[in-house]
Amino acid sequence: MTRGTEFLPVSREEMRSREWYYYDFLVVTADAYIDHPSFGSTLIARVLEADGFRVAILAQPDWHDAEAFRAMGRPRYGVFIGGGNLDSMVAHYTVAKRRRAQDLYSPGGRMGLRPDRATIVYANRAREAFPDCPIVIGGLEASLRRFAHYDYWDDKVRRSILFDSAADLLVYGMGERATREIARRLKKKIPPHQITDVPGTAYVAADDSGCAFKRVECPSFETVCAEKAAYAQATKIQYDEHDPVRGRAILQPCQGRLLVVNPPARPLNREELDQLYELPYTRQVHPIYTDCVPAIEEVRFSITHNRGCFGGCNFCALAFHQGRMVTSRSIESCLREAELLTGEPGFKGYIHDVGGPSANFRHTSCKKQKRCGMCANRSCLAPEPCPNLDADHSEYTELLQKMRALPGIKKVFVRSGVRYDYMLQDKDKAFFKELVRYHISGQLKVAPEHCVASVLDYMGKPHFDVFERFWRQYQKINDREDREQYLVPYLMSSHPGCTLSDAVELASFLHSTGHQPEQVQDFYPTPGTVSTCMYYTGLDPRTMEPVYVARDPHEKALQRALLQWRRPEMRGLVVEALEKAGRTDLIGYGPDCLIRPQKGEKYFGRKAEAPKKPAKKRDGRGPKPEGTGHRGRPGQKGKMPPKKKAELARQRTEKK
C-alpha cells in the first residue's frame, strides 16, 4: 500500500500548485474533507482519480449562494454530490427533534456548517452555478431517500429526493461501480438522460421506454401519501427487489412523471475491495482546518474488512444501503493496512477495530446467494437461523491472529458490533475463545435490543433466549480465562410493537440481572427502514397486520425512563409508567421492586399488591390455596406489616 503524499485540491490555488488549469469532476460533500477510506465522498473521489480523472473537493461550502460552487471554475464533465456519512437531518437533530450541540463531522465539532437536507440544497446551488452541467447525487442521504419516503422531521411523506434536488442521476448503495460507469459515459459526452441502464442508479423520466431491465411498479407518490396501506405495500416491494441477482427495476409514478430505480449494482468482489482500500489516502484531516474534526478519532487506527450485512434488523438502514450480500477484503490487504498504521503519527500499538457493519461477517450467509440472490421473504438469522446458514469464523480468526503478530502492534480490538446469534451457530468455538482472550478492551458490546419476543419479531432480532445462551457461554469462557470482562447490552425503547407493559418487562429483567444501562436508544424513524414504515403506517409491511406504535412523546419518555429507573431525575416518570401499566407492585421494598416508595407518596409505608395471575392447576389438586402472606409465607393471611400498622395509627391520631 502506498502512502498518499498529497490531498486532492480544495481551491484554485491548490489546483495551480499542481499546474491544473482545468479539472474533470467536482465532488461536493457535507462533511469536512478527511482523506480517509471511512468517508464515502473520499472513496468516490479517489476512485475517480484512479481512473485518470482530475478531481477537486468542495467540502461544506457556503450554501447561501452559488459563489462557493464557482470558486474553482466549471468542471469539464460533472458534479458528484454527497450528503455526508450521516443523513443531514440525523446529524442535526435528536430523536426528540432538538438541535444537537455538536457535529462530529465538522471542524471543532461546530454546528451550522452544513444545511438541513444538504443533498437537496447543494444540488440546487450547483445547478444555479452550472446550469448545463450534469449533476449526480449519491451517498447515504440520497440512497435512503430514493423513493417516496416518510420524513420524521416534517411528519409527512416526501417525494423522491431526485425531484427536490433536480439532479440528473442518483447513485444508491455503495456507489463505486455506478460512479465509474457514469464518469466514463460523461467523458464521452453522453447526455445524462441517456444513461438509463446502469445498475445502482435512479432517474426521472416521462415513461419507462428507456428502462433496460425487467420491471415492477409500486404505488405512486400520490397513493402512498393518501393511503398508509399503499405505503406499506410499496416498502415491501422495494425491499423484495433490493437484490443484485434477482432484483427488478422499480417504477414509481410521481406528479405526472416516472421515477425509475434500477436494480442494485453487484457488490465489489475481494480484489476490487482490496484495490479500493489501497488507493493513496493521506489518512489525515485536510490542513485547511485549524480545529480537529472529531469523526477522525474513531476511525484513525481502525480497519474496515467487510461490507454488507445479512443480519436483517428492521430498524437498521444497512440492508437498504449496503445490501445483504457480504463481501470482504483479503487478509493480506488488511495486514498491509495494519502495517501502514504502525507508521502513522500518534500510533501507540493499538488497532482500535477490525470491523464493518457486523464485525464477524466475512462471506455470504450461504452458497446459494451468489447464484440465486438473497431470499425475499425470510431473514438469515431471525427469528431462527436458516438451515443453510454457513457460520464460519475461521478466516476472521486467522486475520486477527496474523494482525496481532505484526511488529509494532500490541493489541487488536474488535469494537464493531458482533452478531452473537451468528457466533453461536459456529460449532468451532475458536473465534469465541480468541475474542474473549485477546480482542476485548474490558467490555463487549452486543445488541439484544429487548427481551420480549413479540417486540424482537418486529425488530427482526432473535429471541432473548439466544442472548441468554450467549451470555452464559461468555461468562464461562471469561471464568476459564480468569478475566473480568463485562457484557454491555444495547437496548432500544419505543420501537413499533413495544407497549408500556413490554418496557416494564424489560426493566424488570435488567433489574433482576443487575444491569443499569446509562444510555438507551429511543427508536429513531430514519428514512428507508422497515421499522420506520411500521412507525408511520401502523402496519407491518411483511404481513400487513396492525402494529402498536408509541408516537406520543410523553409515552416514549415513559418507556425510556423505565429502562433507566435508577436515575433520580427519572423517578416521577417511572412511577407514572408503573401506574399506567398496572404494575405498582414494583414500587416497594421487595427484591423484585424497581424503586422504593418515598415519604409523602401514596405508596409509602405499604407494599403494593402483586398483579393477579390466572389460577394454575397443581397436579390435579386445583389452584394454589390462598392464605399466603405478604412475603409468601403460609399462615399469615391478612397480617399487616408493622410500618403499615404504624401509619394507620398515625392517621387515626391526626383525625382525632
Please report the DSSP string for 61-97 in residue order. Answer: ---SSSHHHHTT---SSEEEEE--SS-HHHHHB-TT-
Q: Which residue has the higher pLDDT, 192 or 487?
A: 192
> What Å distances lie between residue 470 and 311, 421, 451, 464, 467, CA to CA?
17, 8, 14, 10, 5
| Topology (CATH level 3) of domain 270-488+524-539 | pyruvate-formate lyase- activating enzyme (3.80.30)
pLDDT for 337: 97
22-80 per-position pLDDT tens digit: 999 999 999 999 999 999 999 999 999 999 999 999 999 999 999 999 999 999 999 99
Q: What is the pTM of this model?
A: 0.89
Q: Which sequence spans correspond to the domains of the chain? A: 12-201, 270-488+524-539
**267-279 CB burial, b ≥16 within 10 A, e <16:** bbeeeebbebbbb
Question: Is residue 496 very low, low, confident or very high in pLDDT (cuts 50, 70, 90)?
Answer: very high
Q: What is the CA radius of gyration of the chain?
A: 28
DSSP 8-state assignment for residue 595 = B
Q: How far apart are CA 523 and CA 490, in angstroms?
A: 12
Q: Which residue has the cell 470558486?
A: 71
Q: How far apart are CA 191 and CA 203, in angstroms?
A: 13
Is the pLDDT score of 627 beyond 50?
Answer: no
Across 130-150, average pLDDT: 97
Contact 81, 167 (CB under 8 A): yes
Q: Which residue has the cell 469536512?
A: 32
Across 395-406, average pLDDT: 97
Question: Is residue 651 very low, low, confident or very high in pLDDT (cuts 50, 70, 90)?
Answer: low
Q: Which residue has the cell 420491471?
A: 215
SS3 (DSSP) at 458: helix
| Topology (CATH level 3) of domain 12-201 | Rossmann fold (3.40.50)
Contact 178, 219 (CB under 8 A): no
Q: Do domains 12-201 and 270-488+524-539 have the same CATH topology?
A: no
Contact 527, 87 (CB under 8 A): yes
Q: Which residue has the cell 477537486?
A: 56
Residue 578 CA to its chain's centroid (Å) = 31
Tell me which residue of 461, 455, 453, 447 sits closest to 534, measured CA to CA.
455
Host H or E run for residue 601 = none
Q: Show the cell assigned to 634.
A: 403460609
Q: What is the mean pLDDT of the chain?
A: 91
CA atoms within 13 A on the CB side of 356: 22
301-335 per-position pLDDT tens digit: 999 999 999 998 999 998 899 999 999 999 999 99
